[in-house]
């Protein structure tokens, strides 16, 4: 009897304890931790109740006992949006900075290279040839002006511009060689038509045109590519937070507040699913982005090729001398062919001075002997150009390394935000799974818009891709095509549909708000024997006639200048 009574008392006591425990479990808990965390976000404490409420009013978070009011849920939803945008901005900062700094650095170095080359040339030749150079300097000044205008986005056809340069040079030299005759403008125009036929400068114009065209096309297209990459990254980083994404973000980031667990982070796979849903359109950019980066690296190889400053400058005096020598040696044949084609010119009138023109020409323009080297000023100028060129080469190498790291950036962005951004909890058991502190079981969906049809965390309309992202995909596709053509020596220029004459910004005629299109122009790398077939070897690091260095380009200008040594 006594034992039975004791058993009944034990059972009654146990039932009482269990009922008290259940009662305690169902009782509303304090919201003190939530109040503290909510206030730390900058929101007023008056919004937060002291004890949990019934949560039927909640539209996003679980509707159990809650520390959230409707107003709090709305504010936390907006806070979720702001924090997500900040996370994307922070995670994409490195790739955006890469293009901003690379564009600025390359552009500055290249323009400095152009300016120093022109100043160096002008200084040396003024001192060496005085009046002779000054009287004909406009031909070369125009050349540098047009080269710079081409690089900075002007609508310049390189092939036509260079051909025009050689024609003008021939006109000047032809008059010096035939100073006993008077030439009208019409006659000189006829003379220029014989440049290709009589080849007064030998093969040098063809070779230098080839080098200049290749190098400037590569440089301009590369700096345009850096600008396009910068603009695409800036625009894509400004995410469009659509309603389903916003609800999922709120549920993941701030519903733990409503459940009195403000410090609880989302489970890793849960975070991945939410981020892949919200950034589905950005991930679709990845394929075209990777092709764009590959094309940028190809053109960078052209700029960082085997044709360095020394190999371009050291033999330049010989090339210049050869060109002038060709003109001197063939002057009679050139004149005869021109007279035959254009007619016999009229002799100069009596009293018009023809004193010593041919003699001056011959004495001024002659090959250097081994002992005749450039002056001290010339050496200093060349050293300065070498310094600039080497700095630019190093810059290209650094840019290439950073570009390689940016591949697959957009498809990796969701995972980077969750892991590198420390948004998710590493412990898969002690994390928020959208309802409670527990493991998250759904599988992680793949990246990209079409794969979000299976995303368990949000409904994504896969039939309506983001229009801004599609525009950036097209911009990358256009730029990739332009880069591939530049690698092969062909030029495609940008045309701003809103302002065809715009050349704002180095390397491009397109500003932030314009739509870029591409059209072919007549600038194609001049052929030199089998040079075109050797392009693959040049790209692999072998030697080729294609100089990617800007100084090669300027070398051409230098060669041109030398041809006026005998002018007065």
Residue 304: name the closest of 549, 555, 489, 111 by CA: 549
Angstrom CA distances, 544 to 206, 295, 547, stand at 15, 20, 8
Strands in 121-236 per DSSP E: 181-182
Task: Locate 134 and state its tokens.
Answer: 């000054």
DSSP class per residue in 520-561: EEEEEPPP-TTTGGGHHHHHTT---S---SHHHHHHHHHHHH
244 sits in the region (left: phi over 0; alpha: psi -120 to 50; else beta) called alpha
Quote the pLDDT of residue 21: 38
- The span from the CA of 294 to the CA of 291, in Å, is 5
Residue 119: name the closest of 557, 568, 564, 567 by CA: 557
Angstrom CA distances, 75 to 19, 48, 71, 72, 385, stand at 38, 12, 6, 5, 60
Task: Locate 361 and state its tokens.
Answer: 């020409």
Beta-carbon count within 10 A of 135 CB: 13
Beta-carbon count within 10 A of 53 CB: 16
Quote the pLDDT of residue 273: 97
Task: Locate 260 and state its tokens.
Answer: 């009195």
Please list, residue by residue across 301-321, b when 16 or more beta carbons sit within 10 angstroms of its beta carbon and e when fewer do.
Answer: bbbbbebbbeebbeebbebbb
Angle CA(134)–CA(161)–CA(496) in degrees, nearest 5? 125
Q: Residues 305, 546: contact at Cβ < 8 Å? A: yes
Task: Locate 421 and state its tokens.
Answer: 């951004």
pTM: 0.76
First to last CA, the chain: 138
Q: Compute CA 427 distance to the chain's CA centroid, rounded to the nearest angstrom.
A: 40
- The span from the CA of 244 to the CA of 461, in Å, is 10
Burial of 82 (0-12, 13-18, 19+ CB in 10 A): exposed
DSSP class per residue in 438-464: S---SPPPPSSSGGGGG-TT----TTS
Please report where in the chains the tokens 């040839």 appear, as a residue. Answer: 129
pLDDT values of the chain reduced to their tens digit, one per residue, 568 residues: 445 445 444 443 443 343 333 333 445 689 999 999 999 999 999 999 999 999 899 999 998 899 999 999 999 999 999 999 999 999 999 999 999 999 999 999 888 888 887 777 677 667 765 777 688 788 878 988 998 999 998 889 989 998 898 888 888 878 878 888 888 988 988 888 887 788 888 888 888 788 788 888 888 999 999 999 999 999 999 999 999 999 999 999 999 999 999 999 999 999 999 999 999 999 999 999 999 999 999 999 888 774 434 444 444 445 555 666 677 788 888 888 888 888 888 888 765 544 444 444 444 444 444 444 445 555 555 676 677 777 887 888 899 999 999 999 999 999 999 987 689 998 999 999 999 999 999 999 999 999 999 999 999 999 999 999 999 999 999 999 999 999 988 887 544 333 333 333 455 444 343 334 344 344 444 433 333 333 333 333 333 333 333 334 344 443 443 443 334 3
């Amino acid at each position: 009897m006594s034992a039975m009574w004791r058993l009944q008392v034990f059972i009654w006591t146990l039932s009482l304890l269990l009922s008290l425990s259940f009662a305690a479990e169902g009782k509303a808990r304090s919201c003190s931790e939530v109040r503290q965390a909510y206030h730390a976000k900058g929101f007023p404490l008056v919004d937060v109740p002291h004890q949990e409420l019934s949560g039927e009013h909640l539209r996003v978070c679980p509707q159990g006992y809650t520390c959230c009011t409707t107003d709090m849920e709305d504010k936390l939803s907006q806070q979720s949006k702001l924090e997500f945008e900040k996370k994307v901005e922070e995670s994409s900062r490195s790739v955006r900075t890469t293009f901003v700094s690379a564009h600025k650095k390359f552009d500055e170095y290249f323009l400095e290279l152009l300016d120093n080359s022109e100043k160096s040339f002008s200084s040396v030749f003024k001192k060496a040839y005085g009046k002779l150079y000054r009287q004909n300097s406009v031909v070369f000044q125009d050349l540098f002006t047009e080269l710079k205008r081409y690089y900075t986005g002007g609508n310049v056809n390189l092939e036509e511009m260079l051909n025009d340069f050689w024609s003008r040079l021939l006109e000047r030299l032809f008059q010096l060689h035939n100073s006993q005759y008077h030439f009208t403008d019409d006659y000189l125009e006829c003379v220029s038509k014989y440049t290709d036929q009589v080849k007064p400068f030998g093969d040098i114009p063809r070779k230098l045109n080839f080098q200049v065209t290749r190098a400037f096309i590569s440089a301009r297209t590369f700096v345009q590519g850096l600008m396009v990459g910068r603009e695409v990254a800036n625009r894509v980083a400004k995410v469009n937070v659509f309603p389903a994404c916003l609800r999922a973000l709120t549920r993941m980031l701030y519903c733990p507040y409503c459940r009195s667990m403000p410090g609880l982070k989302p489970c890793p796979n849960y975070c991945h699913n939410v981020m892949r849903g919200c950034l589905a359109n950005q991930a679709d950019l990845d394929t075209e982005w990777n092709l764009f980066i590959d094309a940028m690296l190809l053109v960078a190889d052209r700029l960082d090729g085997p044709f360095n400053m020394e190999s371009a400058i050291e033999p330049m005096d010989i090339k210049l001398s050869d060109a002038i020598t060709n003109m001197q040696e063939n002057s009679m044949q050139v004149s005869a062919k021109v007279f035959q084609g254009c007619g016999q010119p009229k002799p100069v009138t009596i009293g018009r001075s023809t004193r010593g023109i041919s003699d001056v020409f011959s004495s001024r323009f002659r090959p250097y002997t081994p002992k005749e080297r450039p002056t001290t000023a010339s050496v200093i100028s060349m050293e300065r150009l070498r310094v600039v060129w080497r700095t630019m080469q190093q810059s290209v190498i650094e840019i290439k390394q950073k570009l390689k790291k940016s591949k697959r950036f957009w498809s990796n962005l969701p995972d980077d935000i969750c892991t590198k951004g420390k948004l998710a909890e590493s412990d898969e058991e002690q994390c928020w799974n959208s309802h409670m502190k527990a493991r998250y079981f759904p599988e992680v969906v793949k990246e990209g818009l079409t794969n979000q049809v299976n995303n368990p965390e949000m409904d994504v309309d896969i039939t309506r891709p983001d229009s801004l992202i599609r525009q950036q995909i097209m911009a990358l596709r256009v730029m990739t095509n332009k880069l591939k053509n530049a690698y092969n020596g062909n030029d495609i220029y940008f045309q701003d549909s809103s302002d065809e004459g715009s050349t704002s910004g180095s390397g491009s005629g397109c500003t932030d708000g314009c739509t870029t299109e591409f059209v072919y122009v007549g600038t194609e790398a001049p052929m030199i024997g089998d040079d075109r077939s050797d392009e693959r070897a040049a790209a692999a690091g072998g030697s080729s006639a294609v100089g990617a260095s800007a100084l090669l380009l300027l070398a051409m200008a230098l060669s041109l200048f030398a041809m006026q040594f005998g002018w007065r």
